[in-house]
Amino acid sequence: MIIESLVTHIVAYFYFMRYPTKLNQSETEKNQTPYTWGIFFSSLIVFGLTDSANYLSWLTISIGLVSGQAVFIKYIQPTLQLYLDSTIKKNETHVLQTFYHKNEDIIAFTLQQTLIFIWIIMLNQLFFYLAHPLTKLFFIIISIGYLSLSNRDSIIWGEVDKRRIFQTLTSYILLSVLVLFVSQLLIQMIDSVSNSALQVFPFQNAQASYGLFIRAVLVFLILMRPANLLIRSLSVQYDPKKSLKVEESKTDNLTESSSPIPPASREIPVVPNESGFKGAGAMIGNLERILIFLSFLSGSLLSVVAILSIKAFARYKLIADDPYFSEYFVIGTMLSVLITFISYILLVFLLTI
C-alpha cells in the first residue's frame, strides 16, 4: 500500500497545509491539524476503494503517517534547522553557504519529503512482515497515546469548539463520499476501456483498473500543487520582481559621491505590471502540465508544441519588451516540461512494478 500512502500524504501535506515548503516555521505554521484532517479525508476514500481485509493495515498506516509528521515537527525539524544554521548558514567560509542561501526553501523541502518517503517505506515494510493484527493494534494504541500526550498542553478540551469540529468532520465525510463515488466511476470506465478492443494508452493492460487509477492519481497530484511549489522555489531567484527589489535596495544604499555611475543611468530590470486574476498563473501551469502529460501518454508530441506556443503567445508582449521576464518565463516553462516528463517516466515505471 505504498502508492496509497504516498497519495494520502501528498493530499494532506500539499493540499491541506498552507506552508508546505518551509523548514523554519512559526508556531502557527507548525499546526498539524490541517495535515491530520487531510489524512482523515484521504483515508476515508482509500477505505472505500480497498478490500475489507486491508482495513486494519490501512488504519495503522494512516495513524503512522500522522504520528510520523508529529515526530518530525517536534524533534527532527528543529534538529535539522539547528544543523543547517550551525554548519552552513552561520559559517561564512563554508563552501555550501551561497548555495544554501539561494535554495533554502528547496533544500528544506527535499530533506523533509525524503525523510517522510523513508518513513512511508518503513511503515509498509514493517506491517508487511509483522502482519499479525495484535501487532498493528499495539502500534495504533502507542501512536494514539503519543499524539494525545504531545498535544495535551495545546488542547484544552473545555475550550474546544465542538460544533466547529462536528461541522468540519461532516463536511469532509460528505466530500470524501463524493470523491469516492467519482473514483468508482473512473475505475469502472478504465475497466470498460481495458476490456474493450480499443487501445487508448500503450500500457493500459499492464495493471488492473484500480492499480492504474491509483498510480495515475499519484502522478496527477504531483503535477499540480507540488510541481507549482517546486517550480516557484527553483525559479524565484530569477524573478524580475525580486531582482528589482534587490537593485532598489542597493541603489538606496549608494550615494552619488561613492558611485561612479549616476543613479539615473543604472539599469534596473523592468517589472511587468500586475495583471490577471489571482492564482491564474498556477492554474495555467496546472493545465499546461496536465495537457503535456496527456500528450506524452497519447504519443502526440506535436500537441506539446501547440500547448507551449499558446502559452508563449499569451505572454508575447512581456517576452518581447522585457528580456528579464523572457528568461524567467523560459526557466519556468522548461522546469514545467521537465517535471511533466519525469512524471510520465514515473507513471511508466509504477505500471511495471
Residue pair 240/324 in contact by the 8 Å Cβ criterion: yes
> What's the pLDDT band for 201 if we cut at 50, 70, 90?
low
Query: Tens digit of pLDDT for each residue in 208-229?
Result: 788 888 999 999 999 999 898 8
Instruction: List Cβ<8 Å contacts ≥24 apart for 29-34.
Output: 30/73, 32/66, 32/69, 32/70, 32/73
Is residue 290 predicted with pLDDT exceeding 60? yes
**Section 7-14 average pLDDT:** 92
Is residue 102 predicted with pLDDT exceeding 90? no
Give me the pLDDT at residue 208, please: 75
Give me the pLDDT at residue 234, please: 81
Give me the pLDDT at residue 271, please: 44
Greater model confidence, 9 or 245: 9
Is residue 274 predicted with pLDDT exceeding 80? no
Is residue 344 predicted with pLDDT exceeding 70? yes
**Nearest-angstrom CA–CA distance, 13 and 221:** 11
> What's the pLDDT band for 155 if we cut at 50, 70, 90?
low
Take residue 18 and report the three cell numbers written for it.
498552507
**Section 61-87 average pLDDT:** 83
Which of 28-32, 288-292, 302-306 is the least confident region? 28-32
Greater model confidence, 111 or 268: 111
Is residue 109 predicted with pLDDT exceeding 60? yes
Closest to 68 (Cα-Cα) out of 19, 117, 28, 107: 117
What pTM does this model have?
0.80
Give me the pLDDT at residue 89, please: 60
Residues in the chain: 353
**Section 163-189 average pLDDT:** 89
Give me the pLDDT at residue 282, please: 83
> What's the pLDDT band for 346 if we cut at 50, 70, 90?
very high
Domain segments of the chain: what residues? 1-188, 224-256+278-353
Exposure string of 93-131, with b = 16+ CB inside 10 Å and e = fewer, is eeeeeeebeebbbbbbbebbbeebeebbeebbebbeeee
**Section 133-155 average pLDDT:** 78
Is residue 36 predicted with pLDDT exceeding 80? yes
Residue pair 209/201 in contact by the 8 Å Cβ criterion: no
Which of 29-33, 68-72, 242-246 is the least confident region? 242-246
